[in-house]
Chain A
Amino acid sequence: QQQVKQSPQSLIVQKGGISIINCAYENTAFDYFPWYQQFPGKGPALLIAIRPDVSEKKEGRFTISFNKSAKQFSLHIMDSQPGDSATYFCAARKTSGSRLTFGEGTQLTVNP
């Protein structure tokens, strides 16, 4: 049972463009929504996170947009750079839970 669905599976963007990755969740008990970046051979690293009391959070070139009624959230990477090429995972966690539930991942390639 996939509780967090992520799309697209892969994405190719030109340098300077905007990368957009989408996630949808089913469980309304989720209250914490982080995005992780993973390079080959490395563990995931926290990029940015949001809680459902806000609709948008921005940190540098990275923005999370959150739509509580639609149960969707997305990651926007502005001015994408070749160094952003990695796999990105959205995740979600319940209010009282310990585990993170991850999406399937999006492999982003930024062409120079």
Chain B
Amino acid sequence: GAGVSQSPRYKVAKRGQDVALRCDPISGHVSLFWYQQALGQGPEFLTYFQNEAQLDKSGLPSDRFFAERPEGSVSTLKIQRTQQEDSAVYLCASSLVRWGQREKLFFGSGTQLSVL
């Protein structure tokens, strides 16, 4: 595809349910990021992958959050036992080169998660 693709576009979950959010980065992009954007706020960093290696997961808010990128392309963000405070837009972003090399970051349109 031409850009970063995220699915589903919208997800409604009951409190306590597990959810999985998918990100298809631009083909060939090495770096992949997940950000969380609460309503009316700026995005907040969750985690970073370089190819299949998760190099930084310090932004994950709790051990209920888990991300993987097993083959260095598609990534999945999983949230277990969802809580109302998890309601937000989850953004995925990718860049062609290793982070730090005058890279340009491309964001997807996000998955809007609502936990009832």
Find residues 16-38 in chain B having any chain A CB closer than 8 Å to their own CB. Answer: 31, 33
* B41 and A44 form a contact (CB under 8 A): no
How many A residues are at the interface, by size bracket?
Answer: 10 to 19
* A102 and B104 form a contact (CB under 8 A): no
Main secondary structure of the interface of B (DSSP, over half): loop
* B109 and A41 form a contact (CB under 8 A): yes
B105 interface hit (Cβ, 8 Å): yes
Total B residues in contact with A, Cβ cutoff 8 Å: 24
- Can you name the residue of chain B whose Cβ is closest to the Cβ of A103? B42
**Given the known A-B contacts A46-B105, A105-B42, are A98 and B4 also in contact in the complex, defined by CB atoms under 8 Å?**
no
- Can you name the residue of chain A whose Cβ is closest to the Cβ of B45? A99
5 interchain residue pairs of minimum CB distance: A43-B107, A102-B42, A99-B45, A98-B48, A98-B99
- Chain B interface (Cβ within 8 Å of chain A)? 4, 31, 33, 40-45, 48, 55-56, 59, 91, 93, 99-100, 104-110
